[in-house]
Structure 1
Amino acid sequence: MNIFAKAAQLEEQNTPFALANIIETRGSAPRHSGQMIVKSDGAIIGTVGGGMIERYVIEQSLEALQERKPRVVKGRMTRTGPEAMGMDCGGAMSVFIDVYGLRPNLILIGAGHVNRAVAHAAHVLGFDITVADAYADSLAEENFPAGTKRVQGQTMEDAIDQLDINKDSYVVIATNHQDQDAITKVVDCDTKYTGLMASRRKVQTLFNHLRSCNVSEAHIQAIHSPVGFNIGAETPEEIAISIMGEILKVKNQAAGGQMKDDTRLNRNKLVMIRGAGDIATGVAIRLHNAGFKVVMTDISQPTVIRCTVAFAQCLYGESVEVEGVKAQKAITTEDVFRILDNKQIPVLVDEECASIDKLKPTFLIDAILAKRNLGTRRDMAPITIALGPGFTAGIDCDAVIETNRGHYMGRVIYNGATQPNTGIPGNIAGYTHQRVLRAPCEGIMHNHVKLGDIVEEGDVIAHVGDTPVIAPLGGMVRGLLNEGLTVTDGFKIGDIDPRGIEADFTTVSDKARAIGGSVLEAMLHLEQTTLN
């Protein structure tokens, strides 16, 4: 059997392998033409010349199989210099490596009408298909596309035991009466995708059964059920398209949804928020959960103190998650759209809001909370909203939100300004300005505690330069500036919550949540009155 016939056999069996082919040589190369198959275990068939160059091609072939991508590798048969192979021939060689036998593995549990339709849909999409059932008639060869592997067991559980379900498998369970047995066997398997065909009511019954079997909630929530996309599918063929659409979304790591709703094309749901502190983050989470696409901007080293609930922490290199919503640092416009596609919030370093010209959001929210306008204009976006003092609705924004605690907090103002800044922090357990930590001098912050720590009055919280910052009262450290930042005399560097262990430093504050709701109200109102 020649090497190409062997390659065809391996491809038909869906056995992973790389095919290395010499495409160019110069000088005294060991071979000037040749092919070599490299299997995933390192075994080879054929040769590209032997010696160090061949070892290098084998290593590169195994890497290509891991990445599932082709590549070109080059080597020079010299002892030194670029691409040297430690050989004395003096020639050079280029080898093209392509990868095969990597068809995605689709396992269908149940050989009824739906999974038969799924098999036919998946066949033309290049999947390697295995179907399992306990009924021989259901597994008849004519029910499935050519090449489908059919597995029969005495019971459905016995059939599943014969399957090779692994981390690269896509599994669809569609049985008549054995779905509980099937999902119980499969739920703990590590797969790319596990889909279960069931009604919403039956899903709850099956999931409760799994919980009674001590299956982890994480494994239960990973099940795609009810399975597929909601496209009003009724026939087996329509349901198959729905299921394969969902599988392709997972396989291709795509966002899903309608193409016309892609944020790159349709900016109607795109919101830019200036500032990424704790209040801005509360606003962002509320808008994100309401279906808006949110982008945030801030300075390169934000001076936020409630770091555990501020997406600004992304700009210090951390991945941030608050109340189940994730944010990532973005560098370019493409980064922004990639992160949005992953249903996360991108955060840009952009103090001047220069990226607004490229992103063209429908909504601009100034949530810097600087008590003055730092450059936001009403004409920067179709709808502009600002938070707190320093703005006048109707002049430099379309609406402004009251941020002072009290009866009017969260009020949406469409004409005029908010209350002036009182300079007094919100009252918590009878404490206002007493709970705020300020820098005793100019210098660099060095922290001695972390967020969430319980401290007593008189404890050393941090140093600014050589000067200690002393706790003015006992309680929980709910806010603290990032380590190593340079601060000025009197700068707010932290706060202590006198409620102690009853305080919560990990979730959005009541104030941020209320203001977020007001921003959403203003956006929806202005969308109706301004854009329509």
Structure 2
Amino acid sequence: MNIFTEAARLEEENRPFAIAQIIDSRGSTPRHSAQMLIRPDGTIAGTIGGGMVERKVIEESLLALEERKPRLFHGRMARNGSDAVGSDCGGAMSVFISVHGLRPRLVLIGAGHVNQAIAKNAALLGFDIAVADIYRDSLKADAFPPATQLLHADTFAQAVDALAIRPDNFVLIATNNQDREALDKLVEQPVAWLGLLASRRKVQVFLRELRGKGVSEASIRRLHAPVGYDIGAETPEEIAISVLAEILQIKNRAPGGLMMAADHPSRHQRVVIRGAGDIASGVALRLFHAGFKVFMVEVEQPTVIRRSVAFAQAMFDGEMCVEGVTARRAADVAEAIALSERGIIPLLADPHCALLEQLKPGCVVDAILAKQNLGTHMDMAAVTIALGPGFYAGKDCHAVVETNRGHWLGQVIYSGCAQENTGVPGNIMGHTSLRVIRAPVAGVFRAAVKLGDLVAQGDVIAWVGESEIKAPLAGMVRGLLSDGLTVVSGFKIGDIDPRGENADFTSVSDKARAIGGGVLEALMMLMHQGVKSTRDVLEVA
């Protein structure tokens, strides 16, 4: 079999294969110049001479295919020593192994105008494209690039099954009125990226229904919806650019953002945030989108209740996504820095900030909200900012940000303290303390409902030990402690939002955004003033 003919066939079918080519040989070797094609099942076309060296090259080629990266193999025709392949010929051979037929696959569920525009642009980007629809008239070949796989099925569930979707595929659902059927089939299926083209309101309804069916939070967090970048897109062609920009960001593991912002000082500055609850996460989002390299440190088992908008959940699940930004638990500083370079917020178990010496941040933000200072001081970084009461700006830190709701929420204080804690939760539809649920006794917490569930007054929502916890009012479960945590009497374990289905538990609160804005203002001001030669200290290679 001609290996080039076979390579062309496999490339056309986007089926992976490797090409092994001898680039150097010395002494007695089976061949001095040859090429061999290796398929994923280990079968070959052509030969580089057979024997033990060929077996070793096949093994190396399969590893290269698995890693999707080329590699260089060195082998000596000897039984012992480095690079020995287990033969007695006495020569040596170097083989370059390249991988092919690995075009990324984009699966489009629905063949409407938007997916037609996406397919045309994705083909220019080198994607292998498959499109499925239940309407045969929508699958006209001239509406899609050549070589697009067009699949007609009676239902979208059948279409998903027939497409043989793999974990490395990118999948977009855009069917107008039957998205839910496809989403049910795909939401728990491992894929490289799963997007849903839908309104924010429709997404909220779907997420609530998925949780009601018992779909795990880990699976739900993998869904990108609403999909795309906010570029004011309206036409199918504009929407295609918006969606493909997000797909390329995920595919290329890029942080996103404007290229013109690359030289902004913030892009080279590390900020360590103490705490990763919902307010801390709102601060992290503000700083992350402003270009700072955000690192977060937490306790091993954080007791946050607004878990759907708290990066702290990554301490339990390994990864957490809030408003399209991903945080991932890191085992050490080296892994944390690597994650940050890929546009992922690292989360480290380091409640006492023992890792600051290694991280060398330009700024530390105390966002624990403990109403007291748990060890934060001005010498932690060139800029130290704290949230709420318990700190004195000018002594404990360089700035304090007001956290009390009202006219001064988010105010930056450069000398003095924030307002004292009122102990009264924010007012929602006339409810303050009533909507916050506290443990009546000490014990282990177990939930009876999930975040986003709608409950009636008196419904059992959890247990602490053997004690039932009932909803104090009707509404949406917006906050809930993680199962298995031990709490003391009076500990905050949940939060009911009386707005019910109109509440949004998937995005950070207005309070978190306001406080985050205050932190960003303080950081930029202090950088400008050059606290402790900030501009020099903050720059991290």
Question: Which TM bucket (shorter chain)?
Answer: 0.5 to 0.7
2:412–2:519 CA contact under 8 A, matched in 1? no
Cα distance, 1:241–1:63 mapped onto 2, change above 3 Å: same
Q: SS state of the match for residue 114, structure 1?
A: helix
Corresponding letter in the other structure for 1:343: I
Q: CA offsets per residue over residues 443-486 of structure 1, 9 Å max, x none?
A: xxxxxxxx9899xxxxxxxxxxxxxxxxxxxxx9xxxxxxxxxx
Structure 1: unaligned runs, 5 residues or longer: 299-303, 311-318, 403-409, 419-450, 455-475, 477-496, 507-515
Cα distance, 1:329–1:93 mapped onto 2, change above 3 Å: same
Q: SS state of the match for residue 308, structure 1?
A: coil
1:271–1:365 CA contact under 8 A, matched in 2? no
Cα distance, 1:95–1:8 mapped onto 2, change above 3 Å: same
2:69–2:99 CA contact under 8 A, matched in 1? yes
Cα distance, 1:399–1:280 mapped onto 2, change above 3 Å: farther
Q: SS state of the match for residue 137, structure 1?
A: helix
Q: SS state of the match for residue 184, structure 1?
A: helix
Name the CA distance, whole Å, in 2 between partners of 1:216 and 1:372: 37
Q: SS state of the match for residue 345, structure 2?
A: coil
2:330 to 320, 328, 331: 328
Q: Does 1:47 pair with 2:47?
A: yes
Q: Which residue of 2 aligns with 1:192?
A: 192
2:283 to 263, 287, 305: 287
Q: Radius of gyration: which is bigger?
A: 1
Cα distance, 1:518–1:351 mapped onto 2, change above 3 Å: farther
Q: Which residue of 1 aligns with 2:239?
A: 239
Q: Does 1:257 pair with 2:257?
A: yes
Q: SS state of the match for residue 175, structure 1?
A: coil
Name the CA distance, whole Å, in 2 between partners of 1:76 and 1:105: 39
Name the CA distance, whole Å, in 1 between partners of 2:376 and 2:224: 49
Corresponding letter in the other structure for 2:301: T
1:116–1:143 CA contact under 8 A, matched in 2? yes
Name the CA distance, whole Å, in 2 between partners of 1:248 and 1:214: 31
Corresponding letter in the other structure for 2:32: H
Corresponding letter in the other structure for 2:65: L
Corresponding letter in the other structure for 2:284: H
Q: Which residue of 2 aligns with 1:80?
A: 80
Higher alpha-carbon deviation: 93-102 or 180-189: 180-189
Q: Which residue of 1 aligns with 2:311?
A: none
Identity %, equivalent residues:
42
Corresponding letter in the other structure for 2:7: A
Q: Which residue of 2 aligns with 1:308?
A: 301
Name the CA distance, whole Å, in 1 between partners of 2:301 and 2:76: 53
Q: Which residue of 2 aligns with 1:426?
A: none
2:269–2:362 CA contact under 8 A, matched in 1? no
CA RMSD of aligned residues (A): 4.9
Deviation at 1:203, TM superposition (A): 2.9
Name the CA distance, whole Å, in 2 between partners of 1:122 and 1:498: 50
Structure 2: unaligned runs, 5 residues or longer: 304-313, 321-326, 403-409, 419-441, 446-464, 466-484, 495-511, 530-541
Q: Does 1:171 pair with 2:164?
A: no
Q: Which residue of 1 aligns with 2:508?
A: none
Deviation at 1:20, TM superposition (A): 0.6
Q: How does 1:202-213 map to 2 (within 5 A)?
A: 202-207=202-207, 210=210
Q: How does 1:30-179 map to 2 (within 5 A)?
A: 30-179=30-179
Name the CA distance, whole Å, in 2 between partners of 1:212 and 1:283: 27
1:336–1:346 CA contact under 8 A, matched in 2? no
Q: Does 1:343 pair with 2:345?
A: yes
Q: Which residue of 1 aligns with 2:27?
A: 27
Name the CA distance, whole Å, in 1 between partners of 2:278 and 2:212: 36
Name the CA distance, whole Å, in 2 between partners of 1:332 and 1:34: 42
Q: SS state of the match for residue 33, structure 2?
A: coil
Deviation at 1:102, TM superposition (A): 1.1
Q: How many residues align?
A: 426
Q: Which residue of 1 aligns with 2:229?
A: 229
Cα distance, 1:332–1:154 mapped onto 2, change above 3 Å: closer
Name the CA distance, whole Å, in 1 between partners of 2:115 and 2:367: 52
Name the CA distance, whole Å, in 1 between partners of 2:362 and 2:152: 57
Deviation at 1:329, TM superposition (A): 5.1
Q: SS state of the match for residue 301, structure 2?
A: helix
Cα distance, 1:195–1:8 mapped onto 2, change above 3 Å: same
Q: CA offsets per residue over residues 113-133 of structure 1, 9 Å max, x none?
A: 111111111111111111122
Deviation at 1:347, TM superposition (A): 7.6
Name the CA distance, whole Å, in 2 between partners of 1:366 and 1:223: 28
Cα distance, 1:330–1:452 mapped onto 2, change above 3 Å: farther
Q: SS state of the match for residue 30, structure 1?
A: coil
Cα distance, 1:17–1:256 mapped onto 2, change above 3 Å: same
Corresponding letter in the other structure for 1:338: S
2:112–2:174 CA contact under 8 A, matched in 1? yes
**What is the TM-score when the length of structure 2 is the normalising length?**
0.64
Cα distance, 1:416–1:83 mapped onto 2, change above 3 Å: same
Name the CA distance, whole Å, in 2 between partners of 1:519 and 1:202: 29
Name the CA distance, whole Å, in 2 between partners of 1:20 and 1:330: 38
**What is the TM-score when the length of structure 1 is the normalising length?**
0.65
Q: CA offsets per residue over residues 228-280 of structure 1, 9 Å max, x none?
A: 2221111111111111112222222333333455698525985346xx6xx79
1:25–1:91 CA contact under 8 A, matched in 2? yes
Q: Does 1:18 pair with 2:18?
A: yes
Cα distance, 1:11–1:284 mapped onto 2, change above 3 Å: same
Q: SS state of the match for residue 4, structure 2?
A: helix
Deviation at 1:170, TM superposition (A): 1.5
